[in-house]
């Protein structure tokens, strides 16, 4: 595999090799080397980095290495000079060993746990990429003022804009789902991004305008095994953001950037497969969901509150998880019901892809940790034969209080999700998948974000309280 990479660099005359690594928050960082300096030795010795600047270690013990992974590479389409990109793992030095807080290492460990429990079985994941495309983005906060300003040419608020370029055809609030041109003014951007996907090895199922009238989008890709899909999800976000920039637009995966418009999720379809067949399918069971699938589902539901600390790890995440916007609000499952935390799609025709969709996640997640946490919860359900209970087929966002006791609310804030994680973390520690240090660091990092929001005045507070 290493030989193939080195041969590719030489034969295709790449001038640079770009090593991309994922920090604790889930952001890509990169180091670029002239191709002539990229030798076989790099795959064993790695490239020195300051781990403390990536959230991995304290400054006193910051020296680490990025070790390129030869299993996956792609041509970076955004660099003028021919550049081949490789992903890397974070390793400690003296001795060289995987770092326990490295997101990719954590994802690998949960796959190892799966193969220990169910040999020759794959965890298959399929996220849906929802995002907004804005034409202008401004925000700032200082001691005496704070604001944000977003604009999208197709948004309804621009219908009265006095400009020669305004030809009407704006999209009304919450009426953007599958909108067609001329209202859909972002079709060409999505097509360009999908071409980039294809060139980088990502298979696109389809793309379309989403519900949000202010240029909300969705691109859905083919499912893949957990590690492959996590890597490709990182790449997808990279291609979307930089591809949009080529059109002078800003792509945002922020869960709830706009008041009174739908938020953007990262719904994750998932199932276990063996021999090309889904272990979640059983023709004779209700909803054709096998006992293995029911137990996996039971684990997801039991640990849902704690999972949100990884799948929805921003204060903004919980502005999306509210009633009235097709977002999940209660810990429940159903067939085709989009207000449930877990939806069993009602349109599945292929038994080999029998699956369900965990709907809370959003784009602020570190995808490796989110995938690992969801699979760990599902495996805990299988191990302990957790019964998911009965499905619910009503709109859970309007459920009366009495029957709602069987379908508790999801956490309403990041702080509550972190509290849930603090009280329910043993399932993540099984077989050392999530290290104690990783979870402790994650909680501390996210509590800091909560505190930074808590201590700053909010613009709406002036509307409520300025004249008291």
User: Which sequence positions are flagged as catalytic?
Assistant: 50, 128, 130, 210, 218, 267, 338, 357, 359
Tokens of 340: 């449930």
Tokens of 27: 């952001």
Q: How many CB atoms sit inside 10 A of residue 287's CB?
A: 18
Buried b (16+ CB within 10 A) or exposed e, 422-439: eebbebbebeebbbeebb
Which class for 448: exposed (0-12), middle (13-18), buried (19 or more C-beta within 10 A)?
A: exposed
CA distances from 339 to 157, 179, 325 (A): 28, 22, 9
**Dihedral angle, C-alpha 150, 156, 158, 160, nearest 10 °:** -150
Q: How many CB atoms sit inside 10 A of residue 188's CB?
A: 11
Tokens of 125: 């994941």
Concatenated DSSP letters of 54-76: GTSS-GGG-EEEEEEEEEEEEE-
155-158 long-range Cβ contacts below 8 angstroms, 24+ apart: 155/213, 155/214, 155/215, 156/213, 156/214, 157/214
Place of tokens 């999505």: 190
Give the C-alpha separation, 88 to 39, whole Å. Answer: 15
Tokens of 114: 């799966």
Give the C-alpha separation, 317 to 303, whole Å. Answer: 18
Q: Strand, coil or helix: what is 270?
A: strand
């Amino acid at each position: 595999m290493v030989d193939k990479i080195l041969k590719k660099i030489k034969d295709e005359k790449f001038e640079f090799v770009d090593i991309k690594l994922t920090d604790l928050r889930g952001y890509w960082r990169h180091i670029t080397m002239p191709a002539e300096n990229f030798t076989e030795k790099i795959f064993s010795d790695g490239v020195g980095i300051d781990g403390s600047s990536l959230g991995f270690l304290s400054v006193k013990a910051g020296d680490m290495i990025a070790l390129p992974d030869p299993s996956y590479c792609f041509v970076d389409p955004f660099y003028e000079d021919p550049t081949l990109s490789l992903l890397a793992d974070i390793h400690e030095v003296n001795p060289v060993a995987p770092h326990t807080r490295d997101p990719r290492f954590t994802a690998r460990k949960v796959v190892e746990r799966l193969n220990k429990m169910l040999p020759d079985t794959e965890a298959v994941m399929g996220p849906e990429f929802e995002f907004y495309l804005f034409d202008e983005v401004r925000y700032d906060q200082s001691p005496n003022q704070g604001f944000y300003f977003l604009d999208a040419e197709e948004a309804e608020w621009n219908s009265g804009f006095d400009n020669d370029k305004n030809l009407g055809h704006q999209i009304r609030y919450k009426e953007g789902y599958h909108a067609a041109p001329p209202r859909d003014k972002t079709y060409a951007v999505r097509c360009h991004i999908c071409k980039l996907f294809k060139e980088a090895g990502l298979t696109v199922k389809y793309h379309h305008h989403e519900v949000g009238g202010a240029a909300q989008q969705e691109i859905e890709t083919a499912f893949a095994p957990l590690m492959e899909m996590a890597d490709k999800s990182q790449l997808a976000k990279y291609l979307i953001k930089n591809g949009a920039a080529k059109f002078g637009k800003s792509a945002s995966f922020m869960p709830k950037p706009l008041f009174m418009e739908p938020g953007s999720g990262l719904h994750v379809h998932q199932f276990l497969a063996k021999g090309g067949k889904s272990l979640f399918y059983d023709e004779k069971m209700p909803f054709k969901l096998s006992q293995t699938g029911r137990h996996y589902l039971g684990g997801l539901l039991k640990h849902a509150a704690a999972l949100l600390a990884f799948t929805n790890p921003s204060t903004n995440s919980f502005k999306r998880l509210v009633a009235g916007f097709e977002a999940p609000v209660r810990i429940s499952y159903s067939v085709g019901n989009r207000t449930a935390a877990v939806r069993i799609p009602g349109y599945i025709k292929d038994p080999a892809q029998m699956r369900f969709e965990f709907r809370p996640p959003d784009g602020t997640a570190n995808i490796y940790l989110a995938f690992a946490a969801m699979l760990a919860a599902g495996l805990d359900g299988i191990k302990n034969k957790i019964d998911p209970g009965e499905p619910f087929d009503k709109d859970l966002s309007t459920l009366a209080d009495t029957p709602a006791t069987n379908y508790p609310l999801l956490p309403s804030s990041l702080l509550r999700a972190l509290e849930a994680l603090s009280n329910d973390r043993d399932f993540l520690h099984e077989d050392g998948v999530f290290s104690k240090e990783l979870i402790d660091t994650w909680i501390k990092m996210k509590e800091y974000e909560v505190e930074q929001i808590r201590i700053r005045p909010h613009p709406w507070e002036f509307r409520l309280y300025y004249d008291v």
